[in-house]
Amino acid sequence: MKVYLSRRYHFSASHRLHSDEFTAEQNREIFGKCNNPHGHGHNYVVQVTVSGQVDPVTGMVCNLADLDVFARREVVERFDHTNLNLQPCFEKVVPSTENLCIEIYRIFQCGFPKAHLETVRVEETSNNFFEYSGQ
């Protein structure tokens, strides 16, 4: 019997969508207002879904406190109130929300072994969200 657990986390960060592969004109054409040299910010909502067997003793898929500590330490504290363009993980990658979603998935996949990671969903705005569930 597999049970799914989803938990939400919040952080605010800025980014500029820009690629050194393009000319300034191409960047403006492709990324529009998101290519503003000063960047722009979002209040991101990250939803992490894990799954597993229900432990017969605790009645849980995983301990929520463990999940919360990991998420705060590895994701929220890392990205909250930062410019994503300055993060090492985006040194050679455009810090789009798609790439942010993949990076957060990678962080959980590499560091939280207490449950099976199913998906990461990142809401950028009330209209835009992205989900990633691995390769």
Q: Kindly report, residue by residue over 64-110, the tens digit of the pLDDT.
A: 999 999 999 999 999 999 999 999 999 999 999 999 999 999 999 99
Q: Kindly report, residue by residue over 46-58, the tens digit of the pLDDT.
A: 999 999 999 999 9
Please indicate whether residue 124 is annotated as part of the active site. yes
Per-residue DSSP letter, 53: P
The set of residues, in sequence order, having a beta carbon less than 8 Å from that of 69 and lying 6+ positions away, is none
Catalytic residue of the set 10, 77, 81, 110: 81
Please indicate whether residue 116 is annotated as part of the active site. no
Please indicate whether residue 62 is annotated as part of the active site. no
At 135, the pLDDT band (50, 70, 90 cuts) reads: confident
Of 48, 104, 95, the closest CA to residue 75 belongs to 104
The most distant pair of C-alpha atoms in the chain lies apart, rounded to whole Å, by 60
Q: Catalogue all structural domains in the chain, each as residue range(s) with its CATH number.
A: 3-16+42-132 (3.30.479.10)
Claim: this prediction has a pTM higher than 0.85: yes
Catalytic residue of the set 18, 34, 101, 131: 34
